[in-house]
Structure 1
Amino acid sequence: MTDYGHDLRFGSFITPANAAPQQVVDLTRTAEAAGLDLATFQDHPYQSRYLDTWTLLSYAAARTERITLSGNVINLPLRPPAVLARAAASLDLLSGGRFELGLGAGGFWDAIEAMGGRRLSPGEAVDALEEAIAVIRGIWDAGNREPLRIEGRYYRVDGAKRGPAPAHPIGIHLGAYKPRMLRLIGRKADGWLPSLAYLPSVQALADGNAVIDEAAVAAGRDPRAIRRQLNVGGQFRSGTGGEQLLSGPPQEWSEQLAGLALEFGVGDFIFASDDPEAIATFGQEVAPAVRELVAAERAR
């Protein structure tokens, strides 16, 4: 049982479909009205059926007031990290500190290459991501007057001016499943963002946490400084879902999510749905109940 003691956050994972662009923004506003903390969007720049995620994030930030926005996750191979760092800091400044940076190493290499990106092996993609994190943090370090120089194999900056600094310390959260990426999270990142549907079992959360924690300790970091996020999906039903996760009434969802928080350390639950009623139920019924259950157990 691993509870990192994080304040719980709840979010939405909205499909950025360009067939009904205003509907995507309306769902973001629905998530905010339902009291959710996060609105996130997948980023596949090679997918012609999707809005460009960065443009959507910027537009959604202007149409909302409180909710934090993030890519889930931003496609690094098609977004140069120095430019991405300035874009992230700019959006954070414009939104009043409401941006978080979810990053992915890339995976659909045929599509990435078709868009002009460079094909990398899985190991190379992890190395490139680690270099990119150094570039991004270096750009954000606006108080450092020394020009940024990083001689990476994949990303090189030679005398770049730093800044702007974001409005708040932007968290870098990595979508990851395999040990090498998990170790990178332990060393360098602020959060782990897998999808429950892509994990072989719930036990994989504990296994991943162990790899991250070991790497964090070896790097001199406190594992509790790393948030554990989780994309979840399911359906609200009147009858119990039995042993199936997230397939019953809101109270059953709340009990199951509270268990994931207390047993596996999940601090952020991000609900994948484009149904406004389901998003409202998640924010107005499930999230408060999970917080109550976890607070009561922690108080013991």
Structure 2
Amino acid sequence: MIPSHRRRPLRFGMSLAPDVSAPLIRTAQDADRFGLDLLGVRDEPYRRGTADTPTLMAAVLAVTSRIRVLPAVACLPLRPPATLAKAVATMARLSGGRVELGLGAGRSWEHIEAYGAGRLGAAAARRALEEAVHVIRLYWSDQGGLRFQGDHYRFMAGQSGPAPEHQIGIWLGVTGPQGIDLAGRAADGWIAPSSLVPPKRLADGQRRLDDAAAAAGRDPAEIRRVYVLEGSIDEGGARGFLHGPSQQWVYELTELAVGHGVDTFLFGGDPERLAEFALEIVPAVREQVARERAAVQGDAEASPSPQAGQSSP
């Protein structure tokens, strides 16, 4: 029997770098038109020449009809959680619920400091991330008399709002063991970039995520597993993991889905290859994964069960 979190319907999307010199809106519309499920917009507000991610998300939602949009991931040190919660809830209401929230503890601290936020050590950044999840969920609760007092964030409001009309997932972009533990305890999803979490680390991360969820009394199957594909589609030949022809991508994504339990893929390669990814690779992966899941399920159902009174070996 395949574990339930490895049978989830697959989602595919794109990881978009918000370079203002690029045709951002056209690329987002292409992703929507090609049938992709998600558009993750990277959030590095301190980089010169980048668009503001929440503003870009709102613009994309206004000119698309079906694709879901998220920051992948929001730079928490420069995005106060209550303000971020309001922005995301507003976008969700205006788009019919087509928003998720990817949240990160922060990277490139030198640049973050230059933009006015204080530098945090790893443990403090994780604690701030955990507090932010609590603040955002509290804001979205639409309750009265809201209060939160943490080490990094304080929040008091007589009334929150607007509360989202549809559930918004909070997916944490974390790579270290303790960050993954946090995702298992508190998040709706885990976002892992392939450059920092290659397949040899992915299996350990998945086990850690499952163990942390179970220890917190949660069903691991409720947590979405998002993998950012930082590679290149290159018909010139295989050059390593996620660097090669489309057939190699089909094989590797199928293995990630069936063998590692990844259920969501964000293409982070050249936007010029987006059509090839969406219209050729994605359908082939869906077909192959369905075939392999059915074969595994069939083998499990065909296996004889121990007779009554007998123990399994």
Separation in structure 2 between the aligned mates of residue 125 and residue 262 of structure 1, nearest angstrom: 33
TM-score by length of 1: 0.93
Q: Is the 8 A contact 2:232 2:269 kept in 1?
A: no
- Residue in 2 aligned with 1:121? 121
Query: 3-state SS of the aligned residue for 1:167?
Result: coil
Residue 97 of structure 2 corresponds to residue 97 of structure 1: yes
Q: Is the 8 A contact 1:10 1:36 kept in 2?
A: yes
Separation in structure 2 between the aligned mates of residue 291 and residue 114 of structure 1, nearest angstrom: 44
- Residue in 2 aligned with 1:69? 69
Residue 269 of structure 2 corresponds to residue 267 of structure 1: no
- Residue in 2 aligned with 1:87? 87
Q: Is the 8 A contact 1:40 1:72 kept in 2?
A: yes
Query: 3-state SS of the aligned residue for 2:243?
Result: coil
Once the two structures are TM-superposed, the CA of residue 295 in structure 1 deviates from its matched residue by: 1.0
- Residue in 2 aligned with 1:4? 6
Deviations along 1:246-269, whole A, 9 cap, x unmatched?
A: 233323311210110011110111
- Residue in 1 aligned with 2:234? 237
Q: Is the 8 A contact 1:90 1:164 kept in 2?
A: yes
**Which of 193, 214, 217 is the equivalent residue of 1:217?**
214
Separation in structure 2 between the aligned mates of residue 167 and residue 27 of structure 1, nearest angstrom: 28
- Higher relative contact order structure (alpha carbons within 8 Å, sequence separation ≥ 6): 1
Q: Is the 8 A contact 2:76 2:106 kept in 1?
A: yes
Once the two structures are TM-superposed, the CA of residue 125 in structure 1 deviates from its matched residue by: 0.5
Residue 225 of structure 2 corresponds to residue 228 of structure 1: yes
Identity of aligned residues (%): 44
Q: Is the 8 A contact 1:61 1:69 kept in 2?
A: yes
Deviations along 1:73-115, whole A, 9 cap, x unmatched?
A: 0001111111111111100111111111000001211211111
- Residue in 2 aligned with 1:249? 245
Residue 207 of structure 2 corresponds to residue 205 of structure 1: no
CA RMSD of aligned residues (A): 1.6
- Residue in 2 aligned with 1:174? 172
Once the two structures are TM-superposed, the CA of residue 48 in structure 1 deviates from its matched residue by: 1.8
Separation in structure 2 between the aligned mates of residue 192 and residue 227 of structure 1, nearest angstrom: 6
Query: 3-state SS of the aligned residue for 1:27?
Result: helix
Separation in structure 1 between the aligned mates of residue 271 and residue 57 of structure 2, nearest angstrom: 19
Residue 35 of structure 2 corresponds to residue 40 of structure 1: no
Larger C-alpha radius of gyration, 1 or 2?
A: 2
Aligned length: 293
Structure 2 unpaired stretches of 5+: 296-313
- Trace 1:120-139 onto structure 2 (pairs within 5 A): 120-139=120-139
TM-score by length of 2: 0.90
Q: Is the 8 A contact 1:173 1:191 kept in 2?
A: yes
Q: Is the 8 A contact 1:172 1:189 kept in 2?
A: yes
- Structure 1 residue runs of 4 or more that deviate by more than 3 Å after TM superposition: 237-240
The aligned amino acid for 1:19 is: S
Structure 1 unpaired stretches of 5+: none
Once the two structures are TM-superposed, the CA of residue 289 in structure 1 deviates from its matched residue by: 1.0
Query: 3-state SS of the aligned residue for 1:198?
Result: coil
